[in-house]
Structures are given as C-alpha cells and as structure tokens.
Amino acid sequence: MTHPFMAAVADELAERGVATLRYQFPYMEQGGKRPDPPGLAHATVRAAVAKARELARGLPLIAGGKSFGGRMTSQAQAAAPLDGVRGLAFLGFPLHPAGKPSADRAQHLADVKVPMLFLQGTRDTLAETAMLKPMVAGLGKRATLRLFDEADHSFHVPARTGRKDPEVRREMLDAFVAWTEKVVK
C-alpha cells in the first residue's frame, strides 16, 4: 500500500475530493512473495470494505484495486455482494499470467452485478487487449473499459511516446472520477 504508484493514486484522488482506503493483504504485510489464498484475500477485502463503510459514514463506496487486489475484490463481490459497494474499479485487471493468454480469471465477473470500470494499458502483458475487449463487452452495460495507449501493467509509458507516467495517471484518475460520478448518482 506504500508503493509510490499507490501513494500517488491516493494523493491525486484526494486532490479531486475522493477519499481512499489503502490496505495490505497479509502476505504483503509479512513480506512474502506468494499471494494469499483466495479465502484469506476475500476476507481481507471484506474487512477493508467494512472499515471504509465505517469511516465513510454513508458516502457511496467504490471498491477495487490494482492487479491482484482488484481481482480479489471482484471475486469477493461475485461470491457475495460487498455491503454498501456501488461499483468496482480495476487499475490493471490481471486477466491472465504474462505470456499465457486466457480468460479463465474473468469467469467470475459474470456474477458481479454492480458497475465495473477497467482501466488498462494497451501494453499490459497481464491483459492482452485482444482478449480484454471482448471479455468486457460480454459483461454488457455494467462494464466499462478505458484503455491507455502504450501503458503497461503499471501504467508506465515508454519515453518514445513523448508522454510521462504522471500524465497517464492523471488521465486514468480523471476517467475514474468521471465514471464514479455516473455510478453514484
């Protein structure tokens, strides 16, 4: 949760009037490399959502996360709706392992009944655009895909693009805020 990208996202959302709650999965807290099993990750997501609901005191909640955090949040939501959550937002949804294209990691999304926002780079090796677009389209009106040209899974862009990472992050967060305003009405 202290990764510079996550800190920048939280800071820049705060500048836009959006509060965030960052948390860590137990394996990260313990300095481990191997992700927690889904049951523990889902319980962690539920605990974070409960804390956000307590702190937000009636404000609309959007849950989600970056990569593994977003996928675990969507799995938890698919298994049993997260109390008070009005939508899910994913910053780099990991559709498949790098170099192993598959849509298996997305099957549970059919059971998510709240709006979903997928913010993805076109060079994301964990979500090939050719697989991601039809997957999101198959979810119907409840799913929105916003692609960022030349960005990778970390929303880094090559120098040859003439763009800087903070510019991409601003575009991404502007898209998130605009989507959120529609969802929470």
- Alpha-carbon distances, residue 103 vs 30, 31, 97 (angstroms): 30, 29, 10
The per-residue pLDDT for 58 is 86
The per-residue pLDDT for 185 is 82
- What is the number of domains present in the chain? 1
Q: Binning pLDDT at 50, 70 and 90, where does residue 101 land? A: confident
Mean pLDDT calculated for residue range 34-60: 95
Residue 104, pLDDT > 90, answer no
Domain that holds residue 30: 4-183
Residue 144, pLDDT > 90, answer yes
The per-residue pLDDT for 102 is 87
Residue 103, pLDDT > 90, answer no
DSSP 105-123: GGGGGGG--S-EEEEEETT
Residue 136, pLDDT > 90, answer yes
Amino acid letter at 143? A
Q: Binning pLDDT at 50, 70 and 90, where does residue 19 land? A: very high
Tokens matching residue 10:
């939280």
Give me the residues paired with residue 163 across strands.
none
The per-residue pLDDT for 181 is 94
CATH number, domain with residue 73: 3.40.50.1820
- Alpha-carbon distances, residue 99 vs 50, 96, 122, 163 (angstroms): 36, 8, 15, 26
C-alpha angle 47-79-101 in degrees, rounded to nearest 5: 105
Kindly report, residue by residue over 42-51, the tens digit of the pLDDT.
Answer: 999 999 999 9
C-alpha to C-alpha distance for 102 and 94, rounded to whole angstroms:
10
Tokens matching residue 96:
């498949």
**Residue (of 54, 60, 59, 64) closest to 22 by Cα position:** 64
Helices (H) and strands (E) in the chain, counts: 6, 4
Mean pLDDT calculated for residue range 119-141: 96
Q: Binning pLDDT at 50, 70 and 90, where does residue 59 land? A: very high
The per-residue pLDDT for 142 is 96
The per-residue pLDDT for 1 is 82
Residue 79, pLDDT > 90, answer yes
